[in-house]
Amino acid sequence: MIDLHTHSLFSDGELIPSELVRRCEALGYKAVAITDHADSSTLDFIIPRIVQVAEALSKNQSVKVIPGIELTHVPPSLIASLTRQARELGAAIVVVHGETVVEPVSPGTNRAAIEARADILAHPGLLTLEEAEMAAQNGVFLEISGRSGHSFTNGHVANMGRQAGAALILNSDAHSPSDLLTRELAEKIAAGAGLGMNSLDSLLENSQRLLDRCLSSR
């Protein structure tokens, strides 16, 4: 398993990074990205600490730990500059909190994230086919979410992504230990999104492809 969207207590997660990674190791994960919520007020505080702990944990546990960030509820006009800043600070993966139907995310966030070439557009809600096509062109991965509420539109996201030829990946968006996905549950989430019972391997191949891309650019 590879999960490129999780949270620690550096934002609203319940676990310190070490416990989060250990729990992933116990589940047999190959890699996990710690992508805590941030805006311009916390970006330079969170990322260096995640970079530091990711390096230490990767050397001492079997799980590859990827430092990342999730830009969350920021004005769309700031997404491009914050994406650049996050990468300069050491974030290997930049996630943008998309226009989920269960939170008041600013309209235009999906498009701004895609135009900024963020790595992952998380739980993008009722994204349009045009946005999905832009994501395919810009190499932005669209997320199938394991998180309650955000998962309401998984079927729509999968449909738009497949029509547009955009890359889909499955992440837990874990905030607590119970949110981490077993392979069995991940298979059911993928099937529930209309991708079929045998689709998880292809989703994980996309995750590996994104992981390789992000690590090669560092």
Q: Residue ranges per domain, the chain?
A: 2-216
Residues 6 or more apart whose Cβ sits within 8 Å of residue 31? 2, 3, 4, 63, 64, 65, 66, 207, 211
**Tens of pLDDT along 73-88?**
999 999 999 999 999 9
Residue 58 in contact with residue 24, Cβ under 8 Å?
A: no
Mean pLDDT value across residues 181-194: 97
Give the homologous superfamily in CATH for domain 2-216: Metal-dependent hydrolases (3.20.20.140)
Return the C-alpha torsion angle 155, 161, 187, 18, nearest 10. -110
> Which pLDDT value is given to residue 216?
83
Percent above pLDDT 90 for the chain: 97
What are the tokens at 74?
């920021």
